[in-house]
Amino acid sequence: MSKAFTRETEGSDEDEDLPGLPPLPPGGKNYITPAGHARLRAELLQLLDVERPKVVETVSWAAKNGDRSENGDYLYGKKRLREIDRRIRFLTKRLDLAEVTDPSVHHGRDQVFFGATVRYEDGEGVERSVTIKGLDEADSQAGEISWIAPVARALLKARVGDEVTLMTPGGPSTLSVIEVRYPESSRQP
């Protein structure tokens, strides 16, 4: 088949990240906790070892059934295969760039570093608690923010009792660090 009759968009997503996921900072590192790294790796292995082979088998079976233009199993399978391959490429890139950082090494310290759970008070007297995590593992619903978030950047390297300035669209806001906690080491000696 002539290349003129193929869709360029299907194969041109090689360097595309998934929509809605923030890009890594230019020249920055992809810091991630050991648990986050294990979760991404498990997802990658699940896609490679379980999901992709199942979809390939379904597409192969559907292709043998004749007319592919109206074959829902074939069309959906091909689309799902592209989605899986895109996610595999994304996870592979992110894991290659990942720098696993164990926050438990800071256990007992009062300074904010990657992996800290920080309780702070904003300029209006509202107390909040956030855990600073990696870009690919932060979950705002669980009170986790990525280390590149403005609040995290303002809090990093502050100590208990420090006041830091957070630049917001409404102007500067002062955050007072109340408590800094780190997880205990899960390694056995």
Tell me the pLDDT tens digit for each residue of 52-80.
999 999 888 888 877 777 778 888 889 99
Asked whether residue 116 carries a pLDDT value surpassing 90, the answer given is yes
Looking at the domain that runs over 28-100, which CATH code has it been given?
A: 1.10.287.180
Task: Place 178 in a pLDDT band, splitting at 50, 70 and 90.
Answer: very high
Report the candidate in 44, 133, 153 with the shortest Cα–Cα distance to residue 94.
44
Task: Place 16 in a pLDDT band, splitting at 50, 70 and 90.
Answer: very low
Name the CATH architecture for the domain at 103-181: Roll (3.10)
Could you tell me where in the chain the CATH 1.10.287.180 domains are found? Answer: 28-100
**pTM reported for the whole predicted model:** 0.74
Q: How many residues does the chain have?
A: 189
